Structure 1
Amino acid sequence: MLETTVPQVSEPDVRTRLDYLVAAFTTQVGRDLEHWPAETLAEYTAAALELSVRHANRSAFYAERLGDRTVPTSIAEFQRLPFTYPAEIKGRLRDLLACSWDELAQVNLSSGTTAGPTTYVGYTAADLRGDGARYAPAGLFAFDPSDLVAVALPYDMATVGLSIHRDVQRQGAVVLPAGKGGSYGPPERLVQAIAELGVTTLFSTPSFAWYLAELFEQVFPGAGKPIAHLRLGGEGAAPTMLTRLGLRWGATVRQWYGSTEIGVIAYSCEQGTYHVAAANCFLEIVDADGGPVPDGTIGAVVTTTLGRGGTPLIRYHSGDRAVLLAEPCGCGRTLPALRMFGRATDQLPGRDGGVSPYVVEETLLRAVADAEPWYHVELTDTGTTLVAEWPAAAPATEQAAATSAIVQQVAVAGLDLDGVRWAEPGTLDRPRTKMRRVRDERTGPR
């Protein structure tokens, strides 16, 4: 057990308490958070969950939801608490606040990937100290004064752009607040700035980073690209997509997984494996009945904010699909390793359950050598069709063979495609916000 006492700070500053625990455990075991022994991480997590649930009870929402339940002192006790679902927290900022209004420093809106009223998330000043990124590894959220970092992610009412912006400045690097999809910063201007200023790091979504590379090559044909590091989030991507992005930009590629509601949830290591940001959140994988699943089994992602002072969330059932890997990662990090499969609402109807759209993306990019990631899958009452651009450099006579190969390969993953509809180059949507990879037009029962 950790032989130390959590300092008596003001109750809303629960983040300081958690930061103290991380520092104390790190000193005790002589290893940084990413390399703690499993028993140390479990001890920290139990203490962090107890503090976080106790703080969440200050909100009207959780005071009612948890009622007279005893605050859990172990992970097993914690996992008996009820889930929180996205629909329950929409439009309920004040009910969710676990601090007074004058202790609130910032409010953001969720990106709205599900229908209905808006979800608002509130942060205290302590919540904004790194926004969970401070425990991510060097090379993902770490910068030096020579860096010029373009943040091509949403700023307008969103969390992610401002969060990374603050981290860049906090570490002494220079930030270019590019945004994504805004009227003042169109992608053409960003490409110009990348070339003229020598941007070294680009934070963006995979699809937008590809689009920027496409534009760069059109505006500056034959010119070298200055970006050395791509840091990608907000969307998933197939392995071949990530490899091609790195080659196209001549840059290293790392990813993170997060949400407005929770913050940073996981980040990728040098080997491309996601690791849970265990100082910022607690992640569970559950089955359809809400019970825990063994490592190596795909299930639903459930996350809990650790140390959130403004709007804490307890056992938030997001609808994402993932698996905690049973084998340790070869990078040496001991944090839980994770593989993502996308949102439950984006899963394609397969013979044995949902199939990730990124299976289709991987198959497309492997089957057609010059294919670019401009595609979507249409679900109608009559079947499932992949719609994708046919590359200009590829002979049209090869379309039938490519279609046959794609249909056969995705069938192995359990998805029955009725065919592929090839579009002319440049005719499908380019990303201004999140890409819609699945377009569900079914009217009958699901």
Structure 2
Amino acid sequence: MSQSRPEPGDWSHPAELARLQAAELPRVLAQAMRSPFYAARYAGRAKPVEAADFAGIELTTKQDLRDQYPFGMLAVEREKLATYHESSGTAGDPTASYYTDRDWTDLAERYARKWVGIHPSDTFLVRTPYGLVITAHLAQAAGRLRGATIVPGDARSLATPLPRMVRVMRALDVSLTWCNPTEIMMLAAAAKAAGLRPEQDFPALRAMFTAAEPLTEVRRKRISEIWGGIPIVEEYGSTETGTIAGQCPQGSLHLWADRAVFEVWDPETGGLSPTGRGQLVVTPLFREAMPLLRYNLADDVEVAAEGCGCGWVLPTVRVLGRSGAGYPVGSGTVTQQRLEELVFSLPFDYEVMFWRAMAHRDLLRVEFEAPDAVRERAVKELTALVDRELGVPHRITGLPLGTLVPTSALTAPRDILKARYLFGEGEDWDRAVMYA
């Protein structure tokens, strides 16, 4: 792999992608058979697994990865590994993933495929967890590949509270950020709490990269408005696969079909197809340490091969995620995606950023924060929207700012301290050794 490989817009016809996939599959299959898991799964075959057998290969599941924890999927010597990672474990026990230096070249190239570019002149704030997950390391590797200055802001860390990140963004002229959509909102709220205006007090900021949550178009536009109209560039991936899709200038998510084989699995029929609605299955084409054959991400998606206005021939994907599952309320069904669209269709001047909802069988409860001056109007308008669009029994409540996201979370410095052992008279020595 090298930086000279084609970029997303370089492919002129889907047939080119099909030829690339067919050429790479024999090597992918051979490498996979070096792992204990795949070697055992196909040990009884009379002949080695070949590219012609791909249509008959069974799915690899998240449970398979959990059962093989930690190194049952390893296809290279341990000495060749560059990094080790684990998933967050939000949907069960975590899974392990590992990469060689060669794998990391591919990972970084895929992440760096941002239509707004990543340049040596950029200062790039990475505001996702460094922990065991891959997300922050992925952005850092891609930023370094393109020569940007990396600011390792982390997330969920006492050492990097929101006020500190707002200060860093201003002082360092941060031009790019990487965080989930909720964190982008939190940064905006923290900026406002510091007396700043996100839309005008961060003039160096030119784009914000985001992932990890299903993001409706109306919410993406609202986030962009909050930050002065800059692009909010979405991508899609996982710790097990790295980035597998990225946004084009038209706003569509395109699958990197020149870096992996993608299929859609229908849980009802068990069938696999290149397009349609179901669960996304991925076979990375340039994976050395941990090859995955027909890995089912278990994410609900909709994949299409129709042309896009951007000119890319790569297939598009709409990620439904958990928002695809609806909750019954009254005689209707409510999804997070549809509610999000309604909440963020309220006028920008109402400054609604944070909300929550609970779907009871007989009542939908929705709560949101809004400034005192507009709260009553916002409640009336959202009530009318829910009546018209959802038609379910509901109770809409407007809350004062700071109710759902405490003001202290936006303003408290909370900088972590180094361990101490010697204290002066009158100091709180119960904090000895503690990092707080």
Picking from 212, 219, 226, the partner of 1:241 is 219
Correspondence 1:319 to 2:294? no
Query: How far off its partner does 1:128 sit?
Result: 1.3
Measured against aligned partners, the alpha-carbon deviations of 1:275-295 in whole angstroms (never above 9, x if no partner) come to: 111233222112123213574
* Pairs within 5 Å for 1:185-200: 185-200=160-175
Residue of structure 2 equivalent to 1:87 = 63
- 1:262-313 Cα offsets, whole Å, 9 max, x none, are 1111000011100111233222112123213574x32111122222111222
Root mean square deviation of aligned Cα? 2.9
Distance 1:66 1:356 in 2: 41
- 1:135 and 1:337 map into 2 onto residues whose CA distance is 17
Aligned pair partner of 2:152 in 164, 168, 177: 177
1:215 and 1:232 map into 2 onto residues whose CA distance is 18
Of residues 264, 271, 288 in structure 2, which corresponds to 1:285?
264
Please list the CA deviations of residues 153-182 of structure 1 after superposition, one character each: whole Å capped at 9, or x if unmatched. 111112111111122122222110111111
CA distance in 2, matches of 1:421, 1:63: 57
**Which residue number corresponds to residue 167 of structure 1?**
142
Structure 1 residue 68, shift from structure 2 partner: 4.3
Provide closer, same or farther for how the CA distance between residues 134 and 237 of structure 1 changes in structure 2, counting only shifts above 3 A: closer
Q: Is the 8 A contact 2:114 2:247 kept in 1?
A: no
Look up the match of 1:110: 87
Q: What's the CA shift string for 1:210-239, capped at 9, x where partnerless?
A: 110121122143552131111111212221
Partner of 1:213: 188
1:67 aligns with 2:43: yes
Distance 1:147 1:220, change over 3 A: farther
Larger mean Cα displacement after TM superposition, 201-210 or 383-392: 383-392
- Distance in 2 (CA, whole Å) between partners of 1:164 and 1:108 is 15
3-state secondary structure, aligned to 1:112? coil
d(CA) in 1 for partners of 2:379, 2:8 = 52
**5+ residue gaps, structure 2:** 410-436
Runs (5+) with no aligned partner, structure 1? 1-15, 433-446
User: TM-score scaled to structure 1, two decimals?
Assistant: 0.81
Question: Which residue of 350, 353, 365 maps to 1:385?
Answer: 365
What is the distance in 2 between the residues matched to 1:309 and 1:66? 19
3-state DSSP class of the match of 1:41? helix
The DSSP-based 3-state class of the residue aligned with 1:235 is: coil
Contact 2:356 2:367 in 1 (8 A): yes
Identify if the C-alpha distance between structure 1 residues 132 and 312 changes in structure 2 by more than 3 Å, giving closer, same or farther.
farther
Partner of 1:437: none
Kindly tell me the number of residue pairs found equivalent between the two proteins: 398
Question: What TM-score does the superposition give when structure 2 sets the normalisation length?
Answer: 0.82
Q: What is the distance in 1 between the residues matched to 2:393 and 2:135?
A: 35
* Contact 1:205/1:235 (8 A) holds in 2: yes
**Amino acid of the structure 1 residue aligned with 2:133:** A
**In the TM superposition, what is the alpha-carbon distance from 1:390 to its structure 2 partner?**
4.1
- Match in the other structure for 2:434: none
Counterpart of 1:260 in structure 2 is 239
Whole-Å separation in 2 of the counterparts to 1:354 and 1:405? 15
Match of residue 155, structure 1, among 130, 145, 149: 130
Which secondary structure state, in structure 1, belongs to the residue aligned with residue 321 of structure 2? Answer: strand
Residues 132-170 of structure 1, C-alpha deviation per residue, up to 9 Å, x if partnerless?
534753535x42221111111111112111111122122
Query: Which of 1 and 2 has greater Rg?
Result: 2
Judging changes above 3 Å, is the alpha-carbon distance between structure 1 residues 150 and 267 closer, same or farther for their aligned structure 2 residues? Answer: same
Given that 1:154 and 1:161 are in contact with CA atoms closer than 8 Å, whether structure 2 keeps it comes out as yes
- Assess if the C-alpha contact under 8 Å between 2:284 and 2:291 holds in 1: yes
Q: CA deviation at 1:41?
A: 0.4
- Report the residue type matching 1:152 in the other structure: R
Which of 88, 99, 115 is the matching residue for 2:76? 99
Residue of structure 1 equivalent to 2:100: 124
Shift of 1:106: 0.8
Residue of structure 1 equivalent to 2:425:
none
Do structure 1's residue 409 and structure 2's residue 389 form an aligned pair?
A: yes
- Identify which of 322, 326, 329 aligns with 1:348: 326
Q: Is the 8 A contact 1:367 1:406 kept in 2?
A: no
Distance 1:86 1:219 in 2: 43
SS at match of 1:185: coil
